[in-house]
Structure 1
């Protein structure tokens, strides 16, 4: 048990440090709430560890319970505060957070007073029941509050990592509700002195009664923290993958761009305003896509309908790859005609597939297919104007 609880405590403390200090980027909205959440959960789990529990209770008997319960309430408050800061406007978020902070202060103060009353020799089941009532009431309010926010936002967000993270956090809330049901049962048992729950034995495993008192809250904390942290971890990974794709796409478009820019130097955009963005993969790729598109547009008087028809007869145009191969054959023939000073007798229309793309990624994906066919498959144009077979 020491290894489990101390391990989770260290992991959560490291995650809190990552959020607050180690991100290397401007802190996003909700950073301090997330730091408080992870730090409070780290304290709660540390207090559950028998090693820490024995150490603090050697000073004040049973104080580990108060520490862990208070930390759990602070963490629950931080979860709700983070969700409000991310999902509501600033004024409304602050208003709701203030109300919940007041309720948190009342709950923790009341628990502390009841704990001190017990320590003065007035231990009774009813006093502990009142203590549990404050704890369960605020924790249940916070869990339901966050569960509603998580489900609502998971249905409306567009980012896959945020949607997945919120659903994982909502699953964690379900385990938290299981834990609250157990605590409520114990509260009723103590208040009515029914003797249904054995409170004298300590947990030494994660099954049996401990499945409700230890395993359920542990899974709740793990899933909620994982769900809320997932978007922050996924974002730099997705950005690295995006930059890698942009760099690879930029290089793959190089041969086609080189031939077009050599034949039509005017398509190359001015570099006067690009010095500061010379290493920005997004900027460089967008610039290359624009220059290739301009080059293909400039070739319009040389785009032969005869070449286009011959290429369409030679390959299957029912796929994007086949349509790109036809376009590559037309572009290659048009470049040859441009260099020879010949114009098309009948101008070939632009590829219908090219008009379907409205953003950088889809434009790039189309031109990558064209560039691949251009360098790998689009053969030379024979003297009679019919291209050699072009395939995808």
Structure 2
């Protein structure tokens, strides 16, 4: 799964490639190598060539993944020059750590698996890993507070939780280091894992596995959530465009001048749901605004008494009744005795296309689903409105 995700980031992102594409591929690929070395198939083949070589490959891949995670964070959150400077420093530290671990690994094998040399190997490994995990966790938490996108915020917090499990693994490795350095039997030597929730496997296997899962899911979540969010947004735009059709049709038939230009031939925006919905919302708003001289306060008061809903739905019902009566009055040329003020309910809070659309959807629903109220005008025997 990690290898497939790495392939998606490197090969399936299209061109031009977004910032952090290669580092995300390196992150997922490094984790894939680290876990592959733990598998019996890959580990057995490697061990046949060089004993205990799978451990070195896995540890180096883990450090590479930690470095890539830092690089992703730097590239997305810092200026390019500053990000390159910090990434370069981490790469130097990573290279020094891997070279040092390789030298100590060779020395350990030549010294017949000396505990002291292995302790130095562990010290170098957990030092760089701990530094990288803490650095990344601080950045993830800091950026999660500043970002506006909910998927990015959730992803960074998941990655920070993964860092917490990584620190548990580092604490376990530190315990092993103390056990080797001072000869304390704190951790059973060469213990088999019978359960992932039993010690020491919960620290040596389950914790790093959860850390990798949460970090990878956290950093990949925004890339997966974006197309899903785009699909849902476009579906909502199409449905909203269709739901506003009855109200728009009546307004545009009575006032053809509110219909905006459809654009030139070959204009791709003409077929864009966002463009079409925005134009329809503007046209309906212009039509309602043009009906201001025909808005009857009597109709408004009667609709407020007859409204079946509360809050925004009540306001939408009243507005729909006033608009329907205003259209009828416009067709007959009848002006009301007292002109009602335009609807102002939550107008200050509607600062986006979505807010305006949600309000007009309520009005359009009340316009088509409920019969308009009937009121008698003083001095006239026939009712006004429809």
Structure 2 distance, partners of 1:294, 1:236, is: 33
Structure 2 distance, partners of 1:277, 1:18, is: 30
How far apart are 1:25 and its partner, in Å?
Answer: 6.9
Structure 2 distance, partners of 1:249, 1:53, is: 56
Kept in 2: contact 1:328–1:378 (CA 8 A): no
How far apart are 1:314 and its partner, in Å?
Answer: 2.4
1:371 aligned onto 2:370:
no
How far apart are 1:180 and its partner, in Å?
Answer: 0.3
SS at match of 1:355: coil
TM-score normalised per structure 1: 0.92
Q: Tell me the equivalent position of 1:249.
A: 240
Kept in 2: contact 1:76–1:142 (CA 8 A): yes
TM-score normalised per structure 2: 0.93
SS at match of 1:289: helix
Out of 354, 359, 373, which is 1:361 matched to? 354
Aligned length: 378
Structure 2 distance, partners of 1:349, 1:27, is: 53
SS at match of 2:345: helix
Out of 196, 200, 205, which is 1:209 matched to? 200
Q: Tell me the equivalent position of 1:314.
A: 306
Structure 1 distance, partners of 2:331, 2:385, is: 17
Structure 1 distance, partners of 2:343, 2:305, is: 15
How far apart are 1:261 and its partner, in Å?
Answer: 0.5
Q: Tell me the equivalent position of 2:226.
A: 235
Within a 5 Å distance, the mapping from 1:1-392 to structure 2 comes to: 11-23=1-13, 26-121=16-111, 123-206=113-196, 207-273=198-264, 275-315=267-307, 318-353=310-345, 355-356=347-348, 357-379=350-372, 384-386=382-384
State the Cα RMSD in Å.
Answer: 1.8
Kept in 2: contact 1:125–1:193 (CA 8 A): no
Q: Deviations over 1:283-309 (max 9, x none)?
A: 110000000000001111111222212
Structure 1 distance, partners of 2:50, 2:20, is: 35
How far apart are 1:192 and its partner, in Å?
Answer: 2.1
SS at match of 1:32: helix
Residues 100 and 346 of structure 1, relative CA distance in 2, 3 Å threshold = same
Q: Deviations over 1:50-74 (max 9, x none)?
A: 2211111101111101100000000
Q: Tell me the equivalent position of 1:6.
A: none
Gaps of 5+ in 2: 377-381
Structure 2 distance, partners of 1:302, 1:379, is: 15
Residues 317 and 197 of structure 1, relative CA distance in 2, 3 Å threshold = closer
How far apart are 1:106 and its partner, in Å?
Answer: 0.2
How far apart are 1:342 and its partner, in Å?
Answer: 2.2
How far apart are 1:166 and its partner, in Å?
Answer: 1.3
How far apart are 1:269 and its partner, in Å?
Answer: 0.5
Structure 2 distance, partners of 1:276, 1:345, is: 47
Kept in 1: contact 2:97–2:128 (CA 8 A): yes
Structure 1 distance, partners of 2:127, 2:69, is: 16
Q: Deviations over 1:320-339 (max 9, x none)?
A: 10111111111111111111
Residues 199 and 224 of structure 1, relative CA distance in 2, 3 Å threshold = same
